[in-house]
Amino acid sequence: MDKFNPKMKKIARKRAPNVLIDILPTPIFSMLFLLHINQIATYLFLSDKETLNISVNTKQGGADTCAGRYVYMHNLPSRFNDDLIKNCEAYIELRNKCKYLVNSGFGPRILEDDYNHTTQVLTIETGSWYSTNQFMLEVIFREKMRHYECLTNDSSLSSAVFVPFYAGFDVRRFWGYSVKLRDELGEDLAQWLRKRSEWKKMNGRDHFFVTGRVGRDFRRATDQDSDWGNKLMRLPEFENITMLSIETNSWSNEFAVPYPTCFHPKSRTEVKRWQRQVRMTKRRHLYSFAGAKRPQIKVSIRGEIIRQCLASQERCKFLDCNNQSRDCSDPVKVMEVFRDSVFCVQPPGDTPTRRSTFDSILAGCIPVLFTPDSVYNQYNWYFPKDHTKYSVYIPEKDVKNGKVSIEKLLASISEGRILKMRNEVKKIIPKIIYTKPGEVGPEKIEDAFEIAVARVLDRVQDMPPN
Kindly list the residues in this chain that would bind ligand NAG in the complex (CB under 6 A).
Answer: 115-116, 153-154, 194, 203-205, 236-237, 240, 320, 323, 325, 327, 466
317-353 burial string, b = 16+ CB within 10 Å, else e? bbbbbeeeeebbebbbbbbbbbbbbbbbbbbbbebbb
Least distance between ligand NAG and beta carbon 40 (Å): 28
Residue 389: what are its φ and ψ, rounded to 5°?
-70, -30
The enclosing H or E element of 335 equals helix 331-339
- Cβ atoms of 161 and 72 within 8 Å: the answer is yes
Instruction: Report how far residue 332's alpha carbon sits from residue 48's, in angstroms, rounded to the nearest whole number.
Output: 54
- Indicate the SS3 state at residue 329: helix
Instruction: Report how far residue 118's alpha carbon sits from residue 448's, in angstroms, rounded to the nearest whole number.
Output: 26
| β 285-291/151-152 pair status | unpaired
Contacts of residue 392, defined as CB under 8 A and 6 or more positions apart, other chains included, come to 343, 366, 367, 368, 369, 409, 410, 413, 421
Nearer of residues 152 and 391 to ligand NAG, judged by Cβ: 152
Q: Which residues are 60's β-sheet partners? A: none
The enclosing H or E element of 201 equals helix 197-202
- Cβ atoms of 274 and 263 within 8 Å: the answer is yes
| β 285-291/316-320 pair status | parallel
Least distance between ligand NAG and beta carbon 218 (Å): 16
Nearer of residues 187 and 320 to ligand NAG, judged by Cβ: 320
Instruction: Report how far residue 2's alpha carbon sits from residue 415's, in angstroms, rounded to the nearest whole number.
Output: 30
Strands (E), 100-162: 151-152, 160-162
**Helices (H) then strands (E): counts for the chain:** 19, 11
Nearer of residues 120 and 325 to ligand NAG, judged by Cβ: 325
Instruction: Report how far residue 68's alpha carbon sits from residue 50's, in angstroms, rounded to the nearest whole number.
Output: 9
The enclosing H or E element of 290 equals strand 285-291
Q: Report how far apart, in Å, the C-alpha atoms of 227 and of each of 34, 179, 346 are.
A: 64, 8, 28
